[in-house]
Amino acid sequence: MQIRVINPNTTASMTKKIGEAAQHIAAPGTRVVATNPRSGPASIESHFDEAISAVGVLEEVRAGELEQADAYIIACFGDPGLLAARELTRAPVIGIAEAAFHMATLISTRFSIVTTLGRTGIIAEHLLQSYGFAHHCRRVRAAEIPVLDLEDKGNAALDRIIEECLRARDQDNIGAIVLGCGGMADLREQISREVGLPIVEGVTAAMKLAESLVSLGLGTSKHGDLAFPRPKAFSGQFEHLSQLGR
């Protein structure tokens, strides 16, 4: 089984870290291919960053189709381009936010999210609403660290995340915590030990859901709105996307 894990930002060190966390949790026989778009933002911390990154995600799904990937994971907590990506393939496509929400509700009745910057909290709130998980989430918290601070070798960012997780545990009346950034893919076990609550991390959650769907022979439905896009002309820098429809 080949799972293509797409980091929607262009920071190669984060892509490597995400790929290693995904391969570490994978079943024997599952091969992880971790990629990021060639163009786009170095990190995704705004609606603007997210909109630009979505095109890169779609390019990576196109590339994965040529390599016959069995499943795709969108490894940014805003799940950029998720439904559009599903239109491009019969394989399952899973966003790390939706994967984490699903898993958290299987082990707790209420969870809080600990994300990076406060300004990106609204992105998580919109996803909770649109996916139907809003009433399961008590609070979206922010460690107030820029995404790329997670790439620093020191522990300052980790310490801030742990502090916020401890506040969530002590104040929010919750059973689990969801980590709200793809760059936290390697932190699950350490935070879990420090905080003593189940910590759900999206990349690892998405891996297990993707493997399950592939094992069950379940892929993206081509019946209805997730059918391949209708072929049409695209102009300018998007001309190469004209051939996307099938």
Question: Which stretches of the chain bind ligand 2AL, using CB under 6 A?
Answer: 9, 43-45, 76-78, 115-116, 120, 147, 180-183
CB of 245 to ligand 2AL, least distance (A): 29
Q: How far does Cα 242 stand from its chain's mean position?
A: 27
The pair of three-digit structure tokens given for residue 28, joined into one six-digit string: 């024997």
Measured from the CB atom, the residue of 48 and 228 that comes closer to ligand 2AL is: 48
Q: Which amino acid is at 204?
A: T
Structure tokens at 193: 């030990």
Shortest Cβ 182–ligand 2AL spacing (Å): 4
Q: Residue 64 or 182: which CB sits closer to ligand 2AL?
A: 182
Please report how close the Cβ of residue 213 comes to ligand 2AL at its closest, in angstroms: 22
The angle, 0 to 180 degrees and rounded to 10, between the axes of the packed helices 202-215 and 12-25 is 50
- Find the farthest-apart pair of alpha carbons in the chain and give their distance in angstroms, rounded: 55
Tell me the closest approach of the beta carbon of residue 198 to ligand 2AL, in angstroms.
20
Smallest gap from Cβ 203 to ligand 2AL, in A, equals 9
Q: What strands, in cross-sheet order, belong to the sheet with 2-6? A: 31-35, 2-6, 71-74, 93-95
If the CB atoms of residues 67 and 163 are measured against ligand 2AL, the closer one turns out to be 163
